[in-house]
Every structure is written in structure tokens, then in C-alpha cells.
Amino acid sequence: MLKSVEWTGNYLVIVDQTKLPEKLEYIELHTVSDVQDAIVNMKVRGAPLIGVVAAYGVLLGVLEGRNPYMVIEQLKKTRPTAVNLEKVLDEMQVVIDEGGDLTEIENRAREIERREVEATYRIGLVGLDVVPDNARILTICNTGVFATPGIGTALGVIYKAHEAGKVEMVYALETRPVLQGARLTVFELMENGVDVTLVVDSMAGILMARNYVNLVIVGADRVAANGDFANKIGTLNLAVLARHFKIPFFVALPTSTIDPNIENGENIPLEERPEDEVKKIGDRYITRPDAKVFNLAFDVTPGEFVHGFITEKGILTPPFK
Ligand code: MRU
């Protein structure tokens, strides 16, 4: 399996995901500004991976001699929807509050990474139970090795189900506008020998109507106490379609993505991203450059649409306390 993040002891190495699929390029992050740039510009993305990179970001800040509290504040603003970022930074702050030295700060960042890696393997195994034989699975965005420091959440389940010989086909939605499905999910599933078919986002309906898929598994960026959850824009559409066509709809996530402090989905902050992500493909405008654009990166799906939350602690149902 590819590894998308590595702490060398002095600096961080990540895969620059913006270069995929053309190039698998590793870049070094030496400073908090490097980390901030990597998260904001989606060189790294995916809720658990953002959290791990931010934890090392705090360590890099301390190594730079910067005020850790200001570093934490700065990093918290990079991406608002994924709760892992906020939680990891709060956890790092506790170590700082307690006067932790460099070794303790480093150990905590490593521990956060280790926990997230382990969670993905367990999620994969727990999820096996919900995957039927001859599974034809629809998924959105990228929830695998480029979204976590381990094998992934929804893709973690798919990898384990593939090992068990249960997967007939994975349908990867391209995931406009940043194309995480086309660029990342297809790339990693093909690298790992899992049969995958790329489809445009608007094919989800007919895939379900004509029985091309018999299971939907997605990831999550933040799950509220009542089970409403934020995930990549388009997830809500999938949930509504899956309910209509009576197809099981599961969410796979580490419990670190649950935010028990938010009662329901109405209060989940939704990130609005730059207009050019929608207006351009590569360097070319696909609309008038002066067109108005509304580019929400995430939507919120009501918890009642979810058959189960596949976590490292088992398949859970709300409320989450
Ligand atoms: O904007 P992104 O690419 O960071 O969005 C990622 C997702 O929506 C994933 O589904 C989510 O973070 C879960 S990844 C294990």
C-alpha cells in the first residue's frame, strides 16, 4: 500500500495529491506555512489525513521556535468542515498546556497517526459484514490511502472486501469539481488490483435504478450527535437516491470524526471553496470567467438515511455521546 504521509524525525513528507494521477510526487513540509499551504490547497486532504498532518504541523511550529498557540489557531482556520483537524489540534494543545517538551509533542503526533492507521484496518474488518458477495459498490470522493494515514475508511472496507473475494466492481464517482474520485480513487484502486469503473457524478441515479450497484459506502468529515453527517458535495444526493431505490447506504469513519458537541447537521460548518475550482479545468475556463459560482465543498446528509456507521469500534447507530 502507498503511504501518503511520513514523519522523518525532522520534517514531514507527503504525496502532493494535486499532481495525481500524472505524477506520484513526494514533497517535504518543513514549516507551519508549508503545512498550511498543503492543507488549504489540498495537496493533502481527507479528514483523518488532514488531522495527522496538522498534528505534525504543531511540532514543526515548535521546532521553528514559534508560539504553539498561534500555530494552533492558524492551522484551525485552514479547513472548517473536517472535525478531525479541530480535535487533533485541541489534543496537541493539551500537551502544550501541560508544558510538554519536544519529545512529548512529537510522541503525541506519532500516537495520533498510529491511532488513525489502526482505526482504518479495524474499520475495514468491521465493514466486511455489510458487504454482500458479488458486491457492486458505489463510492464518492477519495477515502483511501490519500485520505487517511492507513488503508482508508470506505476504501478500507472495499480493500478488505476485495481480499475476501467479495467485490465484483467498484463504481467511483468522478467527484466534481476537484475530481478526487477520478484522480485519486481510480488511481489507488487500480494500483492495488481492485476492479474500478469511473462514472460521472450524475450517473449515480441510473446506476441504482438499473441494479448496477447493490451497496453505497461513503466517508465522513464530521458526524453530529444525531447522526447527521457532512461529507463531500453530492453525498446527500446519493443518500436520497439509495433510499428511493432501497440500496443499503453506509458511512465508514474513525470515531475521531464524530463530533458529539454538535447536536445536528444544521450547525456543521460547510466550507465554501474558490470559484475557479468550478470555472476552470486545468488552465482552461469552461464557463465565462465572470460567471457567478457557488462552490460548497460539502453537504449534510440526515442521519436517518444511514443504515449504519462503520467504525473501528463496530457498526454504530446514533445518538453519539
Ligand atoms: O475535500 P476533501 O477531499 O478533503 O473531502 C474529503 C471527503 O469528503 C472524504 O469523504 C472524508 O474526508 C472522509 S476521508 C476518510
Domains along the sequence of the chain with CATH: 5-121 (1.20.120.420), 132-316 (3.40.50.10470)
CA atoms lying within 13 Å on the CB side of residue 301: 30
36 Cα–ligand 1 center, Å: 17
Contact, 170 vs 197, CB < 8 A?
yes
Q: How far is CA 51 from CA 84, 111, 163, 165, 253, in A?
A: 5, 12, 28, 32, 13
CB neighbour list of residue 204: distance below 8 Å, 6 or more residues apart: 138, 173, 234, 237, 238, 241
Contact, 170 vs 68, CB < 8 A?
no
| Confidence at residue 124, expressed as pLDDT on a 0 to 100 scale | 98
Q: In the chain, how long is the greatest CA-to-CA distance?
A: 60
Ligand 1 neighbours, Cβ below 6 Å, are: 45-48, 82, 141, 143, 147-148, 153, 180, 219-221, 231-232, 297
Contact, 302 vs 233, CB < 8 A?
no
> What residues are labeled active site?
221
Positions in the chain whose pLDDT score sits under 70? none
| Confidence at residue 318, expressed as pLDDT on a 0 to 100 scale | 97
49 Cα–ligand 1 center, Å: 9
| Confidence at residue 1, expressed as pLDDT on a 0 to 100 scale | 82
| Confidence at residue 76, expressed as pLDDT on a 0 to 100 scale | 97
| Confidence at residue 321, expressed as pLDDT on a 0 to 100 scale | 82
Nearest to 134 by CA among 165, 103, 104: 165
Q: How far is CA 64 from CA 13, 14, 197, in A?
A: 17, 19, 45
How distant is the alpha carbon of residue 108 from its chain centre?
Answer: 21
